């Protein structure tokens, strides 16, 4: 059973996803945030495939905001190696605040444009 907070996030997620989608030229960078970890995927919605992925697994020693920034830099590095320079940012229904914002700033610092 989902809580009101989860239902609200899912509703926002679908509203945002109706407006953005990843293409071959500009794939979608999706962020998932759990209580302990943060996961990022770069997705091509035309072929329904994940091009690049990164997570904070194994980084438990550092604070969560630092983990998020490192994951952003890591996904940017992997994306540049795969030939991806620009993406569409999908915050996945979360507020652009805290760890989600740190992922975005880390990815920008790593060289991605969005």
pTM of this prediction? 0.89
Quick one: pLDDT at residue 91? Answer: 92
Q: Which domains occur in the chain, in start order?
A: 4-110 (3.30.420.100)
- The residues, any chain, with a CB within 8 Å of residue 22's CB and separated by 6 or more, are 28, 42, 43, 44, 45, 46, 87, 88
Q: Which of 8, 5, 55 is nearest to 33 (CA)?
A: 55
Strands 49-55 and 88-90 come out as: unpaired
The CA dihedral of 65, 1, 5, 36, to the nearest 10 degrees, is: -10
H helices within the chain, ranges in order? 4-17, 64-81, 99-110
Condensed to tens digits (0 to 9), the pLDDT of residues 5-21 reads 999 999 999 998 898 88
* pLDDT tens-place string over residues 31-77: 999 999 999 999 999 999 999 999 999 998 999 999 999 999 999 99
């Amino acid at each position: 059973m989902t809580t009101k907070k989860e239902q609200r996030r899912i509703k926002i997620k679908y509203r945002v996803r109706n407006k953005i989608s990843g293409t071959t030229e500009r794939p979608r960078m999706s962020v998932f945030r759990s209580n302990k970890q943060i996961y990022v995927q770069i997705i091509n919605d035309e072929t329904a495939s994940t091009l690049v992925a990164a997570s904070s697994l194994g980084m438990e020693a550092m604070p969560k905001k630092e983990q998020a920034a490192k994951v952003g830099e890591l996904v940017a590095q992997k994306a540049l190696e795969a030939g991806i320079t620009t993406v569409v940012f999908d915050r996945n229904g979360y507020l652009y605040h805290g760890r989600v914002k740190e992922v975005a700033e880390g990815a920008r610092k790593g060289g991605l444009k969005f």
